[in-house]
Amino acid sequence: MNLKNIGEEYDVAIVGAGPAGLFLANLIKDLDFIVLEEHREVGKPLHCAGLLSLKGLKRIGFMPQKSIQNKVRGAIFISPSGLKLIVESRRDEAVVVNRTFFDKELAEKVSDNIKLRTKVVKVAKRSGKWILKTGSGSIRSKILVDAEGFRYNLSTKLGFEKPPKDLLLPAIQVELEKIRDLNRDLVEIYLGSKWAPGFFAWIIPLSEDEARVGLAARELPFSYLKNFLGKHPIASSKLKKAKVKRILGGRVVLTGIYGKIAKKSSILIGDVAGQTKPTTGGGVVYSGIAAHIASNIIREELAKNSGEIVLEEYDKAWRRLMGRELFLMKTARRFMMQINDKDYDEMIKKMKEIGFESVAERDGDMDFQYKILKKIIMTPSLYISQLPYLLTAFIKSLLTS
């Protein structure tokens, strides 16, 4: 890399203008920083289902004003044979947002510090500073934050560990209108290997007749979605005659903690750091939580003015706060990836028999699931015949945490 034409210099360079990078940018907006985004517009291309818990948004201190399309009170879980488990609150529990508008809201107060169409192609460290080579020149910074999402291009160059491939699932989603018999208050979750092997399919309502419908699967998500839309005994009656407005593709990150997320003066944040829920893949709220941790540590290190930046405390703080939570969720995810459709039916049947719906309504939390997962584990009658699968999932989670 040619060091003679080093251009701008900042204390912090954030690569990626998704929620993770933008949450952090807002929290350090009084510092000297730059956000580098390879696309021409913030919020595009779309990848996310846009379902965010109200409690989680309050936790991270950001309540969207311009991007909310709907509010929901709960969810219906449909087993492979059609059994329904309904978890519903009397109040709104989550919002469905337009992710493009959501990201743009996050970008509003830091827009002067965002460089669009700026892809980092090379990275090096010289004399304690990061040098980022882009298509339009080079940028130097004391601290480098990788918020690139699920691509892992920059993180690999920085020497961070690659995530386990079996917990990165291809996903596809369509926005539909003219849907029949849609309850706009409830998200619908469809289980079963025939429809979404390794994960589940979803219907997230936007209005009385519009919804986001998608799934993730181990392979061929488009084929499985086509099958789900046209042949699922319950969903197809609602969706068969619906009109497609938009098709979106992406990846669901279910890794949880899988390696270090800080090395000296570089850190990972968001999807690239495995800061998503292994049970559902949702990561916006976790990115906000991580941004609060990272911003505090970045401030502390810059204030020392010691010449050497050390950010390893960010990794330790994240593990202290979220390690137990993510370990249990990852164990649950690996368990769910192993059991068959008959097991799913049996578990949902038993949950209904013991009144688990009311327990979930009382103790459930979309983002912090440890409490509800622990209650499931402490009720062995729900899964006793699948105990070997649970033990295998537990061991695999231990080996990748």
| 37 pLDDT more than 80 | yes
Q: Which of 148, 97, 116 is nearest to 42 (CA)?
A: 116
Please determine, for residue 36, whether its predicted confidence score (pLDDT) is greater than 90. yes
Range of the domain at 362: 324-399
Whether residues 265 and 241 share a domain: the answer is no
Residue 59 inside a domain? The answer is no
CA dist 21 and 154 (Å) reads: 14
**Within 10 Å of residue 377's Cβ, how many Cβ atoms?**
14
Rg (alpha carbons) of the chain, rounded to whole number: 22
> Is 51 a member of any domain?
no
pLDDT tens string 256-311: 999 999 999 999 999 999 999 999 999 999 999 999 999 999 999 999 987 788 99
Tokens 């360079």 -> residue: 13
Counted domains in the chain: 3
Phi–psi pair at 123, nearest 5 degrees: -140, 140
Decide which of 307 and 340 is more confident.
Answer: 340
Residues 247, 177, single domain; the answer is yes
Same domain, 181 and 238: yes
* pLDDT over 50 (residue 218): yes
One domain for residues 194 and 207: yes
Within-domain flag for 63: no
Q: Is residue 312 part of a domain?
A: yes
Of 323, 358, 375, the last residue of a domain is 323
What is the residue-averaged pLDDT of the chain?
Answer: 89
- In this structure, are 343 and 228 located in the same domain? no
Rounded CA gap, 2 and 4, in Å?
6
Q: pLDDT tens digit string along 169-210?
A: 999 999 999 999 999 999 999 999 999 999 999 999 999 999
> Pairing between strand 51-53 and 137-146?
unpaired
Flag whether 66 is in a domain.
no
Backbone angles phi, psi at 173, to 5 degrees: -145, 140
Residue 5 has a pLDDT of 44
Percent with pLDDT over 90 in the chain: 71
Contact 70, 95 (CB under 8 A): yes
Q: What average pLDDT score do residues 39-46 get?
A: 90
185 and 229 belong to one structural domain: yes
Output the domain CATH number for residue 311: 3.50.50.60
Instruction: Tell me which of 273 and 368 has the higher pLDDT.
Output: 273
Residue 134: how many CB atoms within 10 A of its CB?
Answer: 18
Task: Report the pLDDT value the prediction gives residue 398, as an integer from 0 to 100.
Answer: 47
Residues 110 and 204 in one domain: no
Let me know whether 280 and 362 are in one domain: no
**What was the pLDDT predicted at 397?**
47
Nearest to 67 by CA among 23, 98, 37: 98
Does the pLDDT value for residue 377 go beyond 70?
no
Predicted pLDDT at 336? 85
User: Given a cut of 60, is residue 1 above it in pLDDT?
Assistant: no
Same-domain status, 221 and 265: no
Query: Does residue 62 form part of some domain?
Result: no
Domain with 185 in it: what CATH number? 3.30.9.10
**For residue 4, is pLDDT > 60?**
no
The residue from 323, 343, 364 where one domain ends is 323
- Are 343 and 360 found together in one domain? yes
User: Both 183 and 237 in a single domain?
Assistant: yes
Residue 391 is predicted with a pLDDT of 47
Q: How far apart are CA 16 and CA 92, in angstroms?
A: 31
Kindly tell me the sign of the dihedral angle through the C-alpha atoms of 70, 74, 79, 82: negative
Per-residue confidence (pLDDT) for residue 184, from 0 to 100: 96
146: phi then psi, degrees, rounded to nearest 5:
-95, 110
Report the distance separating Cα 276 and Cα 254, nearest Å: 7
Query: What does pTM read for this prediction?
Result: 0.91
Q: Same domain, yes or no, for 346 and 334?
A: yes
